[in-house]
Amino acid sequence: ASHPLFRAFKANKASFGAWLTLPGTFPARTLAQASPHLDWVVVDCEHGLIPLVPGVAESVSAIQGARPGGGPSAIVRIPATGVTASSSWQIKHALDAGARGVLVPMVSTAEKASEVVADSLFPPGGRRGFGSPFTHGIWGVTVPEYLEAANKHILIMVQIETKEAVENVRAIAAVEGIDAVFIGPYDLSISLGYPPPSPDPHPEVEKVIQKIREEAHAVGTKCAIFCTSGAQGAIRAKQGFDMINVTSDTGSMTEGIAKHLADASGQ
Ligand code: 3PY
């Protein structure tokens, strides 16, 4: 039940991911097969066009089955922001689809982070219910094996992207069960009153980004960040970030098409 993301965590190595925003199995598979160096994919049901119901199950299966022996780890970003009454069923649905991890946007207090953990773990650690006839099969294990492996190997990750979350970051990162905090530089910049990154964040936001990483690491929690290029990602890896998103399906499509046409036309 191990998967690329947790293997990277165990080896204490930076892992690299990409963002999926387009619905359907073909974008998911194409992205997941693009490089053996892709450790994880975020299936974005928040700002992406992938519906949680019924679309996420097919995206998750396509990503994790994309390579012989298993593709990248699929992490689902749920649509509900800030932990609402909807977060609970959305986390359940994302994990029942076979996801290896869940990403919850705009979590700004330790109490809310604890709610995320409770929804993501089976008892005794949490309150997740079991019932899907598909999930264990997607992981290729039996039901009892799934119940044990899920509590050990599901990545529980929350986004730090508000002023309030920055104030509470150490307490959020220290919540038992939170494996990683994820920095969303766009929302973080806006919340702090700065323009969004273009492509680098404002220097004042950059200071906050480094502080979030330090606070997470101080309590033994991993720190993830969203980047829009491999070059930016390499810098983040050197700085000590643990999980680095380097591109998205639509971003790579746009950049790739523009580059090839510029090369061909000489303009
Ligand atoms: C942000 O930068 O706000 C994100 O959530 C990344 O998509």
The end-to-end CA distance of the chain, in Å, is: 49
pLDDT band at residue 1, thresholds of 50, 70 and 90?
Answer: low
C-alpha 228/C-alpha 225 separation (Å) is: 10
Distance 122 CA to ligand 1 centre (A): 29
DSSP three-state, residue 154: coil
At residue 174 the predicted structure's pLDDT band, cuts being 50, 70 and 90, is very high
CA 76 – ligand 1 centroid, Å: 14
Q: Maximum distance among all alpha carbons in the chain?
A: 62
pTM, to two decimals: 0.97
Catalytically active residues are 47
* Distance from C-alpha of 232 to C-alpha of 247, rounded to nearest angstrom: 10
Ligand 1, atom nearest to 105 Cα:
5
CB 56 within 8 A of CB 93: yes
Q: Are 102 and 95 in contact (CB under 8 A)?
A: yes
Per DSSP, the three-state class of 41 is strand
Q: Which residues line ligand 1 (CB under 6 A)?
A: 161, 184-187, 226
* Per-residue pLDDT tens digits for 63-99: 999 999 899 999 999 999 999 999 999 999 999 999 9
Q: Is the ipTM of this complex over 0.95?
A: yes
The per-residue pLDDT for range 113-128, each reduced to its tens digit, is 999 999 999 999 999 9
C-beta separation of 32 from 260 below 8 A:
no
